[in-house]
């Protein structure tokens, strides 16, 4: 099993660099495997996003407890406006998140599902993702274990231009979105473009 934490650190204006340095130390000293760390460039700004993998929920919750009880979570409380830590599990058919130079432009998308939409969504993505991946790799597809039913997926691209081209081509070719997949989504959708931090395993 693979469980993930997606932490979003909203920074004070101009403090992203300090937060990134502190976050690197925090995850190095903690549990879990660092998968990726990014700063947002388009969308919600002044945010550092950190993705970590855990082998079981107990390990994830231990690390969550560490942050919640800390006087200085992620080593940068003085520079944070807010901190959110969301728990996820990978889609059944997806491999573990792999490190590599896949970007350097990453799109992080979150969709809120209809209340009974998770299993149909996974099933339809399972069918469609192999052909969609011929256009551009899917780095991660996960569903939230807390809060509103939702999914988050992460797509790397060589550039914003490539992103536009690959997205348009996959739609024009009828390979994306998954057939019937949008039927299980609400209109609550958020997309952010983020760039890897120097210590991110996903480059």
- Asked if 189 and 195 count as a contact pair (C-beta separation under 8 A), the reply is no
Q: How many whole angstroms separate alpha carbon 41 and alpha carbon 183?
A: 30
Taking CA 114 as the corner, what is the angle to CA 111 and CA 117, rounded to the nearest 5 degrees? 90
Contacts of 20 (CB under 8 A, 6+ apart): 37, 39, 48, 197, 198, 199
Q: What's the confidence (pLDDT) of residue 146?
A: 95
In the numeric block, the tokens 């998308």 are attached to 109
Positions of CATH 3.30.70.100 in the chain:
3-90, 105-196
Q: What are the pLDDT digits (tens) for 128-154?
A: 999 999 999 999 999 999 999 999 999
Could you say which architecture CATH assigns to the domain 105-196? 2-Layer Sandwich (3.30)
**CA torsion angle for 110, 32, 82, 9 (degrees, to 10)?**
-70
Beta-strand relationship, 105-113 and 185-196: antiparallel
Q: What are the pLDDT digits (tens) for 34-74?
A: 999 999 999 999 999 999 999 999 999 999 999 999 999 99
Q: 3-state class of 124 per DSSP?
A: helix
Could you say which architecture CATH assigns to the domain 3-90? 2-Layer Sandwich (3.30)
């Amino acid at each position: 099993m693979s469980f993930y934490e997606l932490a979003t650190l909203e920074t004070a204006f101009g403090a992203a660099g300090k937060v990134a340095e502190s976050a690197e130390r925090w995850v190095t000293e903690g549990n879990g495997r660092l998968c990726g760390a990014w700063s947002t460039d388009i969308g919600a700004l002044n945010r550092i996003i950190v993705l970590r993998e855990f082998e079981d929920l107990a390990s994830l919750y231990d690390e969550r407890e560490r942050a919640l009880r800390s006087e200085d979570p992620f080593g940068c409380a003085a520079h944070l406006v807010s901190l959110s830590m969301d728990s996820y599990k990978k889609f059944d058919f997806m491999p573990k998140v792999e490190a590599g130079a896949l970007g350097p432009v990453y799109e992080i998308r979150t969709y809120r599902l209809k209340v009974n939409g998770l299993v149909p969504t996974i099933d339809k993505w399972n069918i469609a993702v192999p052909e969609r991946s011929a256009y551009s790799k899917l780095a991660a597809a996960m569903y939230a274990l807390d809060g509103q039913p939702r999914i988050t997926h992460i797509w790397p691209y060589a550039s914003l231009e490539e992103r536009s081209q690959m997205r348009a081509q996959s739609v024009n070719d009828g390979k994306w979105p998954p057939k019937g997949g949008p039927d299980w989504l609400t209109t609550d959708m958020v997309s952010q473009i983020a760039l890897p931090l120097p210590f991110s395993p996903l480059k």
